[in-house]
Amino acid sequence: MIGDRIRYITEKIDRAAVRSGRRLDDITLVAVSKTFPIEKIIDAYNSGLRIFGESRLQEAVGKIEHLKAFPDIKFHMIGHLQTNKIRMLKDYFSLIHSVDSVHLAKKMNDYFYSINRVQDMLIQVNLVNEPQKYGIKIEEFDEMMEKMKSFPNLRVRGLMFIPPFYDDPEMNRGNFRRMKVLFDETKKKYKEFKEFDILSMGMSDDFEIAIEEGANMVRIGSAIFGERV
């Protein structure tokens, strides 16, 4: 079942990539496995997936420890991080999507310095200033980018965006387009970040539109694993 869903999604990603002038290999699929059991992650792994997204640190750490026998499996932290839990990050995540403030970035940089690790991360952007969502606001974005230059143990790889919810995903096409413009402008303006190459946006309901508008990483959960209970 999971294998069939992955094949179906992969075909959709492929077609959306072609529509945007790219190829399937240009798009990274993160299987959002938060709240799903280890058995489902293994099923997805056996169907070819290698990158899994978690949002709750304690749950994620348990899964990662359990799956250490799979040497090429990778985990991304996609959920909000509390500063008092930063020490749980260790070297568990190949990418952290959800750095959403200068305060958090400083605490993370200090911690990763203490364990001699340079951590790949994305800056989460609250593009439309939704009060219920985390993310750096547009009017504070440049200030944060300037501050990131002084955090050598954080490697800024790109941007992450969670769009507003609409019944019709097409309603977010303009927001995805604006994020691509911000991504391109940031890459051009802040040349210090030499590996700035990831635009993470698009989920189960809207990943095709996000890819068409420039996403090169999508986070898909329920379309792979089924509905959460």
Residue 97 and residue 122 in contact, taking contact as beta carbons nearer than 8 Å: yes
State the pLDDT at residue 227. 82
pLDDT digits (tens, 9 = 90+) for 172-219: 999 999 999 999 999 999 999 999 999 999 999 999 999 999 999 999
Residue by residue, DSSP assigns 122-183 as EEEEETT--TTS-SEEHHHHHHHHHHHTT-TTEEEEEEEE-PPP-SSGGGGHHHHHHHHHHH
Residue 203 and residue 219 in contact, taking contact as beta carbons nearer than 8 Å: yes
- For residue 25, count CB atoms less than 10 angstroms from its CB and return exposed for 0-12, middle for 13-18, buried for 19 or more: exposed
When pLDDT is cut at 50, 70 and 90, the band that residue 156 belongs to is very high
pLDDT digits (tens, 9 = 90+) for 24-46: 999 999 999 999 999 999 999 99
pLDDT digits (tens, 9 = 90+) for 77-128: 999 999 999 999 999 999 999 999 999 999 999 999 999 999 999 999 999 9
Q: Which domains does the chain have, with CATH numbers?
A: 2-225 (3.20.20.10)
Beta bridge partners of 122: 158
Helix (H) or strand (E) holding 198: strand 198-200
